[in-house]
């Protein structure tokens, strides 16, 4: 007598495999993983920008010196040109290889040199603190780096 699987047994196994695959896809949630990766890039970028700004000040005995941005903004200001504070000539290429851009909102026009990093800068003169924030962070995260 031949032994074989019945149609019901085969369908039952396929159904179980589909349920397990669905559960794994929901658990992994690729959209959330991509959002977390973009937020990690934002944290890296804000840290790099802040470190470069501080390094300019260290090299100038604690003073901010840059012709394109003579003063650091005391109100939350986009790091952009036009319409914000232009830090690219101050930081690139001496302190950064390129100006960091937000993975979704940042843009750079190579024809005109205009850019919007998607990041904000604020200087607190009372405490001497400098803050670089990523306002487009996802998953309800607040990404601000302060020194």
CB contact burial 77-113 (16+ within 10 A = b; e otherwise):
bbbbbeebbbbbebbeeebbeebbbbbeebeeeeeee
Query: What are 2-31's pLDDT values in tens digits?
Result: 788 888 989 999 999 999 988 887 777 888
Is 2.10.25 the CATH number for 31-146? no
This model's pTM is above 0.85: no
CA angle 103, 105, 108 (to 5 degrees): 85
In the chain, where the domains are located: 31-146
Query: What are 41-64's pLDDT values in tens digits?
Result: 999 999 999 999 999 999 999 999
CA angle 36, 131, 118 (to 5 degrees): 50
List the structure tokens of 35.
């959002």
Partner residues linked to 107 by β-bridges: 116
């Amino acid at each position: 007598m031949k032994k074989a699987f019945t149609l019901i047994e085969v369908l039952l196994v396929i159904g179980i495999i589909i349920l397990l695959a669905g559960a794994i896809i929901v658990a992994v949630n690729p959209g959330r993983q991509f959002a977390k990766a973009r937020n990690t890039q934002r944290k890296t970028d804000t840290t790099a920008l802040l470190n470069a700004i501080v390094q300019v000040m260290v090299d100038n005995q604690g003073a901010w010196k840059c012709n394109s941005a003579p003063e650091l903004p005391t109100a939350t200001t986009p790091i952009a040109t036009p319409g914000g504070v232009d830090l690219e000539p101050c930081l690139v290429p001496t302190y950064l290889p390129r100006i960091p851009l937000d993975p979704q909102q940042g843009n750079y026009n190579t024809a005109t040199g205009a850019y919007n990093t998607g990041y904000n800068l604020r200087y607190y003169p009372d405490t001497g603190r400098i803050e670089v924030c990523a306002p487009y962070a996802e998953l309800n995260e607040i990404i601000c780096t302060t020194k």
